[in-house]
Structure 1
Amino acid sequence: MTQMAPTLTFNDETSLLNFVVKDGNGVKGLVDSGLTEVPSRYIQPPHNRINKEHAAESLENMTIDLSELDGPSHDQVAKVITHAAETLGFFQVVNHGVPLELLDSLKAAAHSFFAQPVEKKAVYLKEVSPSPMVYYGTSFVPEKEKALEWRDYVTMPYTNDDDAFKYWPTEFKDVALEYLKTSTEMVKKLQQTLIKSLGVKPDDSRLDELVGFRVVNVNYYPTCPSPELTVGAGRHSDMGMLTVLLQDDIGGLFVKKGESASLEDEEWIEIPPIHGALVINIGDSLQILSNGRYKSAEHRVRTTSTKSRVSIPLFIAPLPIAKIGPLPELVARDGVSLYRDVAFHEYMDNFFGKSLDGKRSLDCASI
């Protein structure tokens, strides 16, 4: 008769952090240990919890056939994309040019990586990873968060193909690199559409600088015994220009609708999973560049008790040395600059220097 491993308890916060963070077991290690209750360090304050799902009727016109940008409906589709960027900051695209078989392979690769024994994943912990081109972790900044996120992840910044093939995990490198490359044309179309709608024409070198940094992230959200007490990812906006997100069919991605006077009045809408679709969201850098016309989307992720979830965002961001600030033509037209110029590496340092807190990351660039 096989003896079951003893269920671990984590009443001691130090032992919890050592197990989850330092030793690399992550949240999946907690779940695999037989945990039946959420440790107190993962319990979110009531105002951060996602206790109810909202209907998504307002998203019915936010699924866009991107192939129509190349046809007679170009102007109409461009208006829909622009409207989404000015309001919710989120939309979904189909017929985007990325093979659906590749997207399915990428999700399978994500599950394959996180299903491995901890020693296979822990070699990529930030402190010991063979390269800054890949690191494995859990939550956002565990040492600074009052309540941890129910999430493990792998981050893979892209520099060139050789580095990706050499350092990225075997389970990911082929499909993740293909995902990055086959999405390039789609990202270019979206970028051109949004910049054109601003009525300005930056030179090509400036545009290349603004989208020159790309990162593939693979998020894994294990099943949770009490999802109503936790979050998979806390409320935040992304720091780059655009994010291309592949989500699976489980759902749980919520976006904040508009501004609200209080936490109690906030409305959060779930982005419905659509097989083969890619979710696009506006990042802080594009909000800054547009002098506030485009809205970076504040979003968060709910956990589930039924099935582990994966999502794979591709972050499109400025080069670290690039300066981000409102386009001069827009400042002249608007008569005011809402943001100051800031080096993107400074923005990243600020973003990762504290726990997630809505769109507070924009404060470091606000005037």
Structure 2
Amino acid sequence: MASTFTYNDENSLFNFVVKEGNGVKGLVDSGLTEVPDRYIQPPQHRINKLHIAESLKDMTIDLSELDGPNHDQVAKAITHAAETLGFFQVVNHGVPLELLESLKVVAHKFFAQPAEKKAVYLKGVSPSPMVKYGTSFVPEKEKALEWKDYVSMTYTNDGDAHNFWPNECKEVALEYIKTSTEMVKKLLQTLIGNLGVKADDSRLDELVGLKMVNMNFYPTCPNPEVTVGVGRHSDMGTLTVLLQDGIGGLYVKKGESASKEDEEWIEIPPIDGALVINVGDTLQILSNGRYKSAEHRVRTTSTESRVSVPIFNTPLPVVKIGPFPELVARDGVARYREVMFGEYMNNFFSNSHDGKKSLDFASA
């Protein structure tokens, strides 16, 4: 997309990257040698490797064992991860490994296209509200932009997916959703069952009835230490399934800390063939705070462009979410109020990333 712009003229840069759809990739392709001012994060939001805890190595779960004699042990490991870090990885999960490789290939293929091919999916232009291409998270509200481009595809039905999703990635993205659905229900069944709550299939379907698959692209960055790929946040939904490539860069916050200086962040190391699972705000609300939605963020790298492909499994917008009544009776207090998920979602997408502040919307 032909356009002239100045790296450190904020309006010019914003128009080029956001409004014209060139994205961060367009910046990198233009030959920039340092991060523009608009992307420089305040020091407290940068990922300081001095404060990075050792990589997580002991939260990889063989999901095939959930159906065998080690069921109780595996279920315990899943619930422990959800109660503590809010993140774990699964192997032998039922999603074909060749499909995972294809997802990485088509993600690179989509973002390698000329800007005008991707810009047809920009907000307000896209042929369907179910497909959105963009950059950063809420660029209009962010003081410092995130070093990321993405395409987001919301699943309603197969017909809409075939008609409206980008040709470069629709078949594999659709297959990714379909082959992961059983795994997500199995995990959710385990987690809800562990709370002593009975949820039938229709209730489980409601809680993961809306699915969004994103393809995220993090171009190489000349000064990775001053910016972020994604700022600190938790996900809004029930469970997120994430495919990351072999480059790494996903960090999750460990526990609560009194100050930003004392925080510990753990890198979720890429494991070949594994999928990363994380607890979202909805599951924290449903569990009355027992399960922890994971606060996480993504660093950039100067060596190689990175892709990741999450599926956000969320309730349908018309579903009310609140702590399970059995838990409120047992705990003697409701830590969250009941809200319509559609309202929670609108609030989430109306604000820039700010840790777990999104949960305040449902606080009792």
TM-score (norm 1): 0.97
1:233 alignment counterpart: 230
Instruction: Extract unaligned runs of 5+ from structure 2.
Output: none
Q: Which amino acid aligns with 2:210?
A: F
Identity %: 80
Q: Which runs of 4+ in 1 moved over 4 A?
A: 5-8
Distance 1:343 1:188 in 2: 21
- Trace 1:1-367 onto structure 2 (pairs within 5 A): 9-52=6-49, 54-57=52-55, 59-367=56-364
- 1:219-277 per-residue CA deviation (whole Å, 9 max, x = no partner) reads 00000000000000000000000000000000000000000000000000100000100
Q: CA deviation at 1:210?
A: 1.0
RMSD: 1.3
Q: Conserved in 1, the CA contact under 8 Å of 2:63 and 2:91?
A: yes
SS of structure 1 residue aligned to 2:316: coil
Q: Conserved in 2, the CA contact under 8 Å of 1:65 and 1:93?
A: yes
Distance 1:56 1:11 in 2: 37
Distance 1:6 1:134 in 2: 25
Q: Conserved in 2, the CA contact under 8 Å of 1:8 and 1:35?
A: no
SS of structure 1 residue aligned to 2:232: strand
Q: Conserved in 1, the CA contact under 8 Å of 2:5 and 2:12?
A: no
Distance 2:208 2:114 in 1: 36
Instruction: Extract unaligned runs of 5+ from structure 1.
Output: none
Q: How many residue pairs are counted as aligned between the two chains?
A: 362
**Structure 1 pair 10–342 and aligned structure 2 pair: CA distance change class (3 A):** same
Q: CA deviation at 1:51?
A: 2.3
Q: CA deviation at 1:349?
A: 1.0
Q: Conserved in 2, the CA contact under 8 Å of 1:213 and 1:318?
A: yes
Q: Conserved in 1, the CA contact under 8 Å of 2:8 and 2:38?
A: no
SS of structure 2 residue aligned to 1:303: coil
Q: Which amino acid aligns with 1:72?
A: P
Distance 2:189 2:362 in 1: 24
TM-score (norm 2): 0.98
Distance 1:79 1:22 in 2: 48
